[in-house]
Amino acid sequence: MAQITGGEAFVRMLQLHGVKHIFGLCGDTSLPFYDAMCRLDHGMQHILTRDERSAAYMADGYARVSGRVGVCEGPSGGGATYILPGVVEANESSIPVLCFTSDISVSARGRYALTELDQGALFKPLTKWNTVLDAGADIPRVLRNAFNQMTTGRPGAAHIGFPYDVQKQMVDESDVWGDASLNQYPSRRACADAAAIAEAARLLAKAERPLFIVGGGVVISGAEQELIACAEHVGAAVATTISGQGSIGDAHPLALGVVGSNGGTLPTRAVVQAADLVVFVSCRAGSVTTERWRYPAPGKASVIQLDIDAGVIGTNYSVAVGLVGDAKLTLAALRDELQQTGASARGWGREAVAAAKREKFSAFRALAESNERPIRPERVVAELNRLLPGEAVVVADPGTPCPYFSAYFENALTGRHFISNRAHGALGYSMAAAAGAYFGRPGAKIVSIMGDGSFGFTVGELETICRLKIPLAMVVISNSAYGWIKAGQKSGFGERYFSVDFSRTDHAAVASAFGVKSYRVEDPAKLGATLRLAVEANEPVLVDVLCQPLEQARAPVSEWIA
């Protein structure tokens, strides 16, 4: 029986599962795997990064826009610890990312080997599924299990520890087979119970002021048209979480936009308050979306909750109906059930949405058209709204860019066109995730929006972007502070600013040193033309925008507004 090495078997298993890109960073314990990658004809591209954290963020961005599993890898010890932030972000955002980290040899465990740590214990609370290999013979079975776990049920991240000696052990080639359909997610879908769907349809048909609040699962499941059909049938307003953006096109008359404490506004909050029935779709009704479980007020409106994870339903709100199932299949069944009820669309949704958006965007335009210096962040959003094609993908870091782009960025198309890492909100995400998104959707213009704090976290990846000629448009919102924290110190701690300010960096000069075409903008009148150069370029471009400090701005963050 023909045999191959563990490293070769691992490469073949990735290939058989349809993997095309691997983001990672080399290390001593990864040498047999890297050698197999070098020798074999597998059709996969390895993207060498400058930081393991960036490799995981790239895999995350890749998976979000491609609908396929993102794959990242790193070495033992420090590499395993550095890669953690991206893995947990993907897992909590229901994004399937396979992370494998090489490890010390099995025979060296417990002998104070360099870089030894308990990878199984380290990754266990941060992943949906996790194991450390003990024998080469286990590689095919473990890889098959990993892809199955990542893409079925609630998608999530998986981790495999890959010891050095296991990479060199022999594996029977006949065991090396896989199911490429498990590279797509979600796979092996299931629909909610028919009786529960019928009851949900009955409640929706009689509601006077129905509202859908939609999380990221609708885009993940590709359920946008099913959602829109349900909403249109009863005339329900459709609000989204930050991760749920793209579930309905922003130009749709029922599209309210983002609600909650980050990106929500007082006019959109008023619509949530007025609803008599709230349908949470693939939305966990967490603290940000509900402004700490105040909007909707518990007990004021009836609640229907749909989620692939039964454990989510009823955690934060008492539900009249719980629907456990895939969003696409379940919303399609709900649509069909609504058509049989004979219910007609109410006018409340369109009227409430139109009034809220008039008030919201009137205030936005007043700031976006300002010629004051420093440049208003709203101006950046407005210019990109005007310049970007519908197919573009905007990746925003969770600091200063997130509330502005969540509230005011508009795209008439459905699907994944806006990304922000909302599960844990770590800085340094945008540039790396945008690079990954380029490989996942190479035909689209990818735009990375980051604060200057985030730039400092991720600046090393400018070398990766230049080496691989990734045509990103990168925008730095420069205000010389950890702005989100400083704004919080203003609103909640009497403007006692402590250890949040840092020196201003000429980000354009730094990027230029890496080989990136760069611009620095201080004059609002020059912003649009400069951003146009970045958007239309077929090479990496960075625009450093000197912006109003966040603590002085009127960001759409409810705690600061109050």
> What structural domains and CATH numbers belong to the chain?
3-183 (3.40.50.970), 194-352 (3.40.50.1220), 369-561 (3.40.50.970)
Are 53 and 428 contacting, i.e. CB atoms less than 8 angstroms apart?
A: yes
β pairing state of 393-396 and 418-420: parallel
The token duo for 79 is 């590499």
Give first-to-last CA distance, the chain, whole Å.
71
**Could you give the 3-state DSSP secondary structure of residue 372?**
coil
The token duo for 285 is 């009704």
Are 35 and 92 contacting, i.e. CB atoms less than 8 angstroms apart?
A: no
Distance CA 432, CA 489 (A): 29
Nearest to 23 by CA among 125, 115, 97: 97
Distance CA 527, CA 18 (A): 42
Alpha helices (H) in 323-460, listed in sequence order: 327-341, 348-368, 377-387, 401-408, 430-440, 452-458
Are 553 and 531 contacting, i.e. CB atoms less than 8 angstroms apart?
A: no
Distance CA 86, CA 81 (A): 11
- pLDDT recorded at residue 342: 79
Give 102-119 as a 3 state SS string. Answer: EECCHHHCCCCCCCCCCH
- DSSP structure string for 289-352: TTTTTTSSPTTTSEEEEEES-GGGTTSSS--SEEEES-HHHHHHHHHHHHHHHT----SHHHHH
Nearest to 411 by CA among 440, 384, 448, 380: 384
Residue 75: asked if its preceding bond is cis (omega within 30°), the reply is: no
Give the phi and the psi of residue 182 in degrees, each rounded to 5.
-80, 0
Q: What does the buried/exposed string (b/e) look like for 11-41 if buried means 16 or more CB atoms within 10 Å of the residue's CB? A: bbbbbbbbbbbbbbbbbebbbbbbbbbeeee
Distance CA 335, CA 233 (A): 8
**Which of left, alpha, beta for 354 (phi over 0: left; psi -120 to 50: alpha)?**
alpha
Q: Residue 491: in which H helix or E strand, if any? A: helix 483-492
The token duo for 41 is 């004809």
The residue type found at 345 is A
Rg (CA), the chain: 24
Total-model pTM: 0.97
Q: What is the maximal distance between C-alpha atoms in the chain? A: 75
For residue 508, give Cα distances in angstroms to 516, 543, 546: 8, 7, 11
For residue 429, give Cα distances in angstroms to 75, 102, 396, 455, 461: 21, 24, 8, 9, 11
Average pLDDT of adjacent 10-residue blocks, the chain of 562 residues: 95 98 98 98 98 98 98 98 98 98 97 97 98 98 98 98 98 97 97 98 97 98 98 98 98 98 96 98 97 96 98 98 98 96 88 98 96 97 97 95 95 97 95 98 97 97 98 97 93 96 97 98 98 98 96 88 68
- Taking CB atoms within 8 Å and a gap of at least 24, the contacts of 518-525 are 518/542, 518/543, 518/544, 519/543, 519/544, 520/544, 520/546, 521/375, 521/545, 521/546, 522/373, 522/374, 522/375, 522/546, 523/373, 524/370, 524/371, 524/372, 524/373, 524/375, 524/376, 524/379, 525/371
